[in-house]
Amino acid sequence: MSVNEASLVDHKALVKVENLTKHFPVTRGLILERKIGLVRAVDGISFEIQRGETLGLVGESGCGKTTAGRTLLGLYPATSGEVFIDNQDLRHARGAELMALRRKAQIIFQDPYASLNPRWTVNSIIAEPLRVHRLLPNEKERTARVRELLQLVGLSPSHLNRFPHEFSGGQRQRIGIARALASNPLFVVCDEPISALDVSIQAQVVNLLEDLQDRLGLTYLFIAHDLSMVRHICDRVAVMYLGVIVELADRDELYENPLHPYSLALLSAVPIPDPHKDRARKRTVLKGEIPSPLNPPSGCRFHPRCPLADQQCSAETPTWREAGPGHWVACHHI
Q: Provide mean pLDDT across the span 141-151.
A: 96
- The pLDDT tens digits for 229-257 are 899 999 999 999 999 999 999 999 999 99
Please give the pLDDT value at position 279: 66
- Answer whether residue 91 shows pLDDT above 70: yes
Please give the pLDDT value at position 280: 65
Whether 236 and 251 have beta carbons less than 8 Å apart is answered as yes
Give the chain's mean pLDDT: 90
- Answer whether residue 8 shows pLDDT above 50: no
Distance CA 186, CA 222 (A): 14
Please report which confidence band the pLDDT of residue 173 belongs to, taking 50, 70 and 90 as the band edges: very high
Q: Which residue has the higher pLDDT, 253 or 199?
A: 253
Domain boundaries, the chain: 48-74+88-234, 244-318
Please give the pLDDT value at position 2: 40
State in Å, rounded, how far the first CA of the chain is from the last one. 21
- The pLDDT tens digits for 178-195 are 999 999 999 999 999 998
Please give the pLDDT value at position 4: 42
- Answer whether residue 227 shows pLDDT above 80: yes
Q: Which residue has the higher pLDDT, 120 or 1?
A: 120
Q: What is the pTM of this model?
A: 0.90
Please give the pLDDT value at position 9: 45
Please give the pLDDT value at position 281: 67
Length of the chain as a residue count: 334
Please give the pLDDT value at position 288: 80
Q: Provide mean pLDDT across the span 158-181.
A: 95
- Answer whether residue 327 shows pLDDT above 90: yes
| % of the chain exceeding 90 in pLDDT | 73
Q: Provide mean pLDDT across the span 102-128.
A: 95
Q: Which residue has the higher pLDDT, 6 or 258?
A: 258
- 48-74+88-234: CATH architecture: 3-Layer(aba) Sandwich (3.40)
- Answer whether residue 269 shows pLDDT above 90: no
